[in-house]
């Protein structure tokens, strides 16, 4: 069975953010991840991690105005300075928190924008990010988001994210593969994992449809998790789903997958 990390941006949300770390430990998770930690001082997060004896394994680069629907800055040609300032902030947090993977979201292509220019800026920004992270002992991961939930997201498929990775010169980057987003885009999940496991730096899960916990939809998680083990994946599997009821009420899926 893979190692599971609770995504505390989506789980235990009845609790204040820092209290979710201890709740994840008590629920049996071996680590946590989150989307954006920047509303909290890194020292306060470290204290909560130490108290729970849990590592944080992933967070995102600043994503712009997420409350207004922005999902990353890396492809936005008019916001390169903001992306690079956010990269410095993310590295500062990651180094204090001991996080070893940062997710660089590509962003949503604005109406009328030139896709070729956006791709050039995306590759330049992510190449810089990957090189800076490598110097700090951190891995850049690149996550596709399905374009049904996030219309006009610039990298909606694993194939497109992998193509960008291949175009990044001398840069160490890995795919962040969320099985929910893959299922939404019609991926053959078994094939994507089998063909690309050496390029995958982080895996996340939620069921489809609904984005709830495994076992609530149609994704064959028991077989997929067994495949992930058999392929020798050594990373974490982030549980980034919307609980159908409460987080604790839905955690029976873990024992059901064994």
What pLDDT digit, counting tens, does each position of 40-79 carry? 999 999 999 999 999 999 999 999 999 999 999 999 999 9
User: What value does the mean pLDDT of the chain take?
Assistant: 97
Query: Where would I find the beta strands (DSSP E) of 190-258?
Result: 200-205, 236-239
d(CA 190, CA 143): 18
CA distances from residue 63 to 68, 71, 111, 211 in whole angstroms, order as listed: 11, 5, 18, 21
Query: Where would I find the beta strands (DSSP E) of the chain?
Result: 3-7, 31-33, 59-60, 101-103, 139-142, 173-178, 200-205, 236-239
Q: Which domains, and CATH codes, for the chain?
A: 3-256 (3.20.20.150)
- Burial (0-12, 13-18, 19+ Cβ within 10 Å), 40: middle
**pLDDT tens by residue, 75-101:** 999 999 999 999 999 999 999 999 999
Burial 87-98, CB ≥16 within 10 A → b, else e: beebbebbeebe
Q: Which residues are catalytic?
A: 143, 240
Q: What is the DSSP letter of 180?
A: H
Q: Are 204 and 237 in contact (CB under 8 A)?
A: yes
User: Which residues are within 8 A (CB) of 61 and not within 5 positions of it... i.e. 6 or more apart?
Assistant: 72, 73, 74, 83, 86, 87, 90, 102, 103, 104, 105, 129
Closest CA to 247 of 33, 6, 35: 6
How is the beta sheet containing 101-103 ordered, strand by strand?
Answer: 31-33, 3-7, 236-239, 200-205, 173-178, 139-142, 101-103, 59-60
d(CA 5, CA 31): 4
Q: Are 91 and 136 in contact (CB under 8 A)?
A: yes
**pLDDT tens by residue, 151-174:** 999 999 999 999 999 999 877 899
d(CA 57, CA 183): 24
**pLDDT tens by residue, 177-188:** 999 999 999 999
Closest CA to 254 of 239, 235, 233: 239
Which pTM value belongs to this model?
Answer: 0.97
**pLDDT tens by residue, 99-133:** 999 999 999 999 999 999 999 999 999 999 999 99
Pull the structure tokens for residue 34: 């989150």
Q: Are 121 and 77 in contact (CB under 8 A)?
A: yes
């Amino acid at each position: 069975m893979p190692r599971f990390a609770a995504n505390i941006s989506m789980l235990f949300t009845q609790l204040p953010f820092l209290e979710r770390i201890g709740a994840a430990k008590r629920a049996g998770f071996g680590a946590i991840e989150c989307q954006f930690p920047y509303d909290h001082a890194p020292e306060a997060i470290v204290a909560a991690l130490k108290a729970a004896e849990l590592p944080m394994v992933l967070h995102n680069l600043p994503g712009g105005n997420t409350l207004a629907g922005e999902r990353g800055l890396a492809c936005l040609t008019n916001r390169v300075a903001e992306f690079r300032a956010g990269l410095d902030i993310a590295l500062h947090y990651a180094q204090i928190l001991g996080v070893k993977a940062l997710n660089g979201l590509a962003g949503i292509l604005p109406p009328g924008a030139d896709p070729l220019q956006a791709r050039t800026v995306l590759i330049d920004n992510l190449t810089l990010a990957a090189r800076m992270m490598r110097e700090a002992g951190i891995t850049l991961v690149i996550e596709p988001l399905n374009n049904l939930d996030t219309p006009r997201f610039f990298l909606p498929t694993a194939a497109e994210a992998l193509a960008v990775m291949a175009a990044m010169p001398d840069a160490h980057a890995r795919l962040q593969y969320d099985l929910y987003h893959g299922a939404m885009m019609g991926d053959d999940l078994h094939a994507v994992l089998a063909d690309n496991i050496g390029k995958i730096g982080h895996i996340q899960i939620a069921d489809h449809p609904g984005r709830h916990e495994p076992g609530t939809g149609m994704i064959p998680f028991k077989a997929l998790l067994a495949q992930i083990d058999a392929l020798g994946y050594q990373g974490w599997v982030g549980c980034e789903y919307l609980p159908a009821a409460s987080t604790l009420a839905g955690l029976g899926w873990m024992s059901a997958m064994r």
